[in-house]
């Protein structure tokens, strides 16, 4: 018949932090196993009449943390199978950062071994006393071994097990994404023990020292409201406020359809900033484009159809599912192969059998839509093998356009066919036709302005010239 297991906490450091219940359990047990002797209180257990066996050898034999924790749990279960009352003693509180206890709870349940867990004083209790914080006011608890931590700078945080300077450097880089460099933090070492030490320093200096070990924690107070960098949730709340009865009259009148024009304009303004290679403008325009996403998500939330969390979740799932070479074990080496795999996955997800023309929005600019349709047809096998085919087709369509002009009928259709053929040539050359035409238009505007300026220097204006004279100035500015 199996014995039983009692899990006790040894407190944060000093022997006086061990609870009376834990002491009695260890004194009455057949076997006392301590996870590690690298805890200050273990050396004093003999003074309490407790003889303990340390399991540090498992750390030396294990290759990974996960393997060590699993073997610790297995060792305790094996000893309990003999019918003995086994006490497993861990640092701090058994349910604060103790992965081996979590695994032991599962193993004991599988083997139907009675397990009792006695609470203990944790390092967190001492840290809260030292920094004067009330945990019920809000607190984040994180493990430095699980970087990067997801932190909310509005709420104070305790980060445990900052065991090395390298770990502190990783932690600092993660924190600097959310906190200013001058933000005050506290390094708390061996709290609750005779060697307890606290260092208060700015975040930028967190990793400047050699005082780290497995008993080192970092206290990160909340950032004051006036100093806090904007968070995404702030934008969501601002958008919701604009739509409330006491919000903005214009925002309250909008719906998905009325915002179509705004969304399109913002997309083109982003493109313009990219074309100008203007990072400041791009930053501003991306914010304006994000506003449109926030607006539509808020409208979806009000209608009970979707909210911003749904938008983010759908995007996350799509990115993971369509990048099996990053988040899975599939090997893809080229960008072209990535695009091909993306389309194949998308086709399977939507149950597509054909080329997927219906997935190309008819609202795209005409040249962009033409190229997108042609690319899908090519992926379905409907394509010329090289450049000559598209060039011959362009020549054919040009000839048909000339014939339509001669007949004075069907010219619009033939112009469209010629443009479609030209888009195919652009695809064969790897050129984005929409962008190429936009750049050509910009060059035309700049050259026309230069022509007008050159004419002005001669005392002439363009309206005063005939086409032959204007063309001479045009050639000079080429």
Q: Which helix (H) or strand (E) holds 465?
A: none
Cα–Cα distance for residue pair 30/50, rounded to 1 Å: 11
Architecture of domain 232-321: Orthogonal Bundle (1.10)
Architecture of domain 124-227: 2-Layer Sandwich (3.30)
Cα–Cα distance for residue pair 77/104, rounded to 1 Å: 8
Cα–Cα distance for residue pair 254/123, rounded to 1 Å: 53
Q: What does the pLDDT read at residue 172?
A: 92
DSSP states of 216-240? EEEEEPPPPGGGPPP-HHHHHHHHH
What CATH number does the domain located at 4-121 have? Answer: 3.40.1010.10
Check for a shared fold between 4-121 and 124-227: no
Nearest alpha-carbon partner for 14 in 259, 276, 194, 176: 194
Q: What does the pLDDT read at residue 315?
A: 94
Domains of the chain, by residue range, sit at: 4-121, 124-227, 232-321, 434-476
Mean pLDDT of the region 24-39: 92
Is the backbone peptide bond immediately before 356 cis, with ω within 30 degrees of 0?
no
Higher pLDDT, 156 or 144: 156
Residue 264 to residues 28, 259, 261, 359, 478, Cα–Cα distance (Å): 75, 9, 5, 18, 34
The fraction of the chain above a pLDDT of 70, given in percent, is: 97
Higher pLDDT, 149 or 194: 194
Mean pLDDT of the region 449-459: 89
Q: What does the pLDDT read at residue 380?
A: 79
Q: Over 90: is that where the pLDDT of 322 sits?
A: no
Cα–Cα distance for residue pair 200/189, rounded to 1 Å: 12
Confidence of residue 145 (pLDDT cuts 50, 70, 90): confident
Strand ordering across the sheet containing 140-143: 140-143, 157-160, 216-220, 184-189, 197-202
Q: Which of 220-234, 337-351, 446-460 has the lowest mean pLDDT?
A: 337-351
Confidence of residue 282 (pLDDT cuts 50, 70, 90): very high
Cα angle 301, 306, 310; round to 5: 120
Q: Over 70: is that where the pLDDT of 276 sits?
A: yes
Cα angle 195, 201, 148; round to 5: 90
Q: What does the pLDDT read at residue 104?
A: 95
Confidence of residue 1 (pLDDT cuts 50, 70, 90): low
Q: What does the pLDDT read at residue 336?
A: 74
Q: What does the pLDDT read at residue 417?
A: 92
Q: Over 70: is that where the pLDDT of 148 sits?
A: no
Confidence of residue 149 (pLDDT cuts 50, 70, 90): low
Mean pLDDT of the region 404-430: 91
Q: What does the pLDDT read at residue 178?
A: 84
Cα–Cα distance for residue pair 265/259, rounded to 1 Å: 10
Mean pLDDT of the region 109-114: 91
Distance of CA 425 to the CA centre of its chain: 38
Q: Over 70: is that where the pLDDT of 113 sits?
A: yes
Residue 403 to residues 398, 407, 414, Cα–Cα distance (Å): 9, 6, 9
Q: Are strands 85-90 and 4-9 parallel, antiparallel or unpaired?
A: parallel
Mean pLDDT of the region 208-214: 83
Q: What does the pLDDT read at residue 351?
A: 54
Q: What does the pLDDT read at residue 38?
A: 85
Cα–Cα distance for residue pair 380/268, rounded to 1 Å: 31
Q: Which pTM was predicted?
A: 0.59
Q: What burial class does residue 36 get, using C-beta atoms within 10 Å of its C-beta: 0-12 exposed, 13-18 middle, 19+ buried?
A: middle
Q: What does the pLDDT read at residue 384?
A: 87
Q: What does the pLDDT read at residue 62?
A: 79
């Amino acid at each position: 018949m199996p014995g039983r297991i009692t899990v006790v906490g040894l407190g944060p450091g000093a022997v006086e932090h061990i609870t009376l219940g834990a002491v009695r359990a260890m004194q009455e047990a057949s076997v006392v196993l301590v996870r590690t002797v690298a805890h200050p209180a273990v050396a004093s257990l003999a003074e309490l009449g407790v003889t303990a066996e340390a399991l540090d050898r498992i750390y030396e034999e294990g290759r990974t943390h996960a393997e060590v924790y699993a073997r610790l749990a297995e060792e305790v279960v094996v000893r309990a199978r003999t019918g003995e009352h086994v006490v497993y003693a861990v640092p701090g509180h058994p349910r604060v950062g103790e992965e081996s206890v979590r695994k032991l709870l599962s193993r004991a349940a599988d083997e139907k071994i009675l397990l009792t867990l006695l609470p203990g004083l944790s390092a967190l209790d001492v840290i809260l006393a030292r920094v004067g914080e009330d945990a019920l006011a809000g607190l984040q608890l994180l493990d430095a071994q699980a970087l990067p931590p997801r932190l909310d700078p509005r709420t104070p945080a305790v980060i445990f097990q900052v065991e090395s300077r390298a770990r502190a450097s990783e932690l600092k880089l993660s924190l600097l994404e959310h906190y200013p460099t001058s933000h005050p933090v506290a390094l708390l070492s061996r709290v609750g023990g005779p060697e307890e030490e606290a260092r208060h320093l700015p975040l930028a200096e967190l990793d400047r020292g050699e005082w780290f070990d497995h008993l080192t924690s970092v206290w990160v107070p909340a950032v004051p409201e006036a100093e806090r960098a904007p968070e995404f949730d702030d934008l969501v709340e601002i958008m919701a406020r604009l739509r409330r009865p006491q919000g903005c009259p214009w925002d309250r009148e909008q719906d998905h359809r009325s915002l179509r024009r705004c969304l399109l304009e913002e997309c083109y303004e982003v493109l313009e900033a990219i074309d100008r290679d203007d990072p400041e403008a791009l930053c501003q325009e991306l914010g304006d484009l994000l506003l449109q996403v926030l607006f539509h998500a808020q409208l979806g939330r009000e209608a009970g159809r979707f909210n911003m969390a749904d938008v983010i979740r759908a995007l996350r799932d799509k990115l993971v599912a369509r990048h099996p070479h990053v988040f899975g074990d599939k090997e893809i080496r080229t960008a072209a192969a990535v695009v091909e795999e993306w389309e194949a996955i998308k086709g399977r997800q939507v149950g597509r059998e054909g080329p997927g023309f219906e997935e190309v929005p008819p609202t795209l600019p005409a040249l962009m839509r033409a190229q997108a349709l042609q690319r899908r047809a090519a992926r379905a096998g409907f394509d010329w093998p090289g450049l000559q085919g598209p060039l011959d087709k362009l020549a054919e369509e040009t000839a048909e356009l000339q014939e339509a002009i001669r007949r004075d009928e069907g010219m619009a259709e033939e112009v469209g066919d010629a443009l479609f053929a030209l888009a195919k040539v652009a695809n064969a050359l790897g050129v984005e036709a929409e962008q190429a035409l936009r750049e050509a238009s910009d060059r035309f505007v700049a050259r026309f302005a230069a022509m007008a300026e050159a004419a002005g220097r001669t005392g002439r204006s363009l309206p005063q010239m005939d086409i032959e004279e204007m063309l001479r100035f045009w050639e000079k500015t080429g």
